């Protein structure tokens, strides 16, 4: 589903990011690592918000290395949710369908269904500015659902939520991922919260993926010294 081969990005100041990654259909992969290591950069390369200077970004067997984000089989949920406060919930979700969204017919039906699925049935007319942080993130997830793309990227979606909201949102996302068999990448600064959400973890350090494996192995039994230092595990 996702194949990155020799993907390289150079940023002003000399920062270089290089990725080789393969994620099979329906796999939920958590992405962890120190701040600035390249976690969000990886997601932005897959989504098309950044263009590599070298390498191949292949999605569903198609080379999307130079494709516009709108042409990629990808939806993305950001930490800041990227909602429009002056618009109502239905319009914010509907923009996931397209800029020509109309509050009628099939388009509105898709929005209502998506909101029901994330537990916000009846919120169509609410202003985003009136929502709690957890509700706003659910709206962002509903917008991703109406796009109906097979790849879902989550960039620290839990960061602004309290413990209870984090737990509820994690359970919701996990259910959606399994029901729709989404291929999902989730960036988090709190690896332990990915335990029930992800099949595997990938550790990024200094701009490249240096370790990957099952969640429990990565969190408790990895022999990668940088990962152990990041997790605060003492050396044997």
At 161, is the pLDDT very low, low, confident or very high (cuts 50, 70, 90)?
A: confident
What residue numbers bound the domain in which 220 lies? Answer: 1-67+183-236
209 closest CA partner among 14, 43, 26: 43
CATH of the domain at 39: 3.40.50.300
Q: Total structural domains in the chain?
A: 1
Residue 126 counted as domain residue: no
pLDDT attached to residue 117? 85
Tell me the β-bridge partners of 114: none
Instruction: Please state the pTM of the whole predicted model.
Output: 0.89
**Percent residues over pLDDT 90 in the chain:** 58
Residue 2 counted as domain residue: yes
| Tokens standing for residue 28 | 């939920």
Residue 223 counted as domain residue: yes
Bigger pLDDT: 25 vs 193: 25
DSSP 49-97: SS--SEEEEEETTEE-TT--GGGSSEEEE-TTTT--TTSBHHHHHHTTT
Residue 156 counted as domain residue: no
Distance (Å, rounded) from C-alpha 88 to C-alpha 70? Answer: 23
Residue 73 counted as domain residue: no
* C-alpha distance from residue 128 to each of 99, 103, 114 (Å): 18, 17, 16
Residue 4 counted as domain residue: yes
pLDDT in tens, 202-214: 999 999 999 999 9
Residue 133 counted as domain residue: no
pLDDT in tens, 170-190: 888 898 899 889 999 999 988
Residue 226 counted as domain residue: yes
């Amino acid at each position: 589903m996702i194949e990155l081969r020799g993907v390289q990005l150079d940023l002003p100041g000399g920062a270089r990011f290089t990725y080789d990654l393969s994620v099979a259909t329906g796999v939920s992969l958590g992405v962890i690592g120190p701040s600035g290591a390249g976690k969000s950069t990886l997601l932005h390369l897959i989504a098309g918000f950044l263009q590599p200077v070298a390498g191949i970004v292949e999605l569903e067997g198609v080379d999307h290395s130079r494709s516009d984000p709108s042409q990629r089989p990808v939806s993305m949920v950001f930490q800041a949710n990227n909602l429009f406060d002056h618009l109502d919930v239905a319009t914010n979700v509907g923009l996931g369908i397209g800029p020509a969204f109309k509050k009628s017919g099939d388009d509105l039906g898709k929005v209502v269904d998506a909101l029901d699925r994330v537990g916000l049935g009846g919120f169509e007319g609410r202003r985003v500015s009136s929502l709690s942080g957890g509700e706003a993130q659910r709206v962002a997830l509903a917008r991703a659902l109406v796009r109906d793309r097979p790849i879902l990227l989550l960039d620290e979606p839990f960061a602004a939520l309290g413990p209870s909201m984090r737990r509820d949102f994690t359970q919701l996302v996990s259910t959606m991922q399994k029901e729709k068999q989404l291929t999902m990448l989730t960036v988090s600064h709190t690896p332990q919260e990915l335990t029930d959400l992800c099949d595997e973890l990938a550790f990024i350090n200094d701009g490249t993926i240096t370790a990957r494996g099952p969640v429990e192995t990565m969190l408790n039994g990895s022999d990668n010294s940088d990962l152990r230092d990041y997790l605060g595990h003492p050396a044997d």
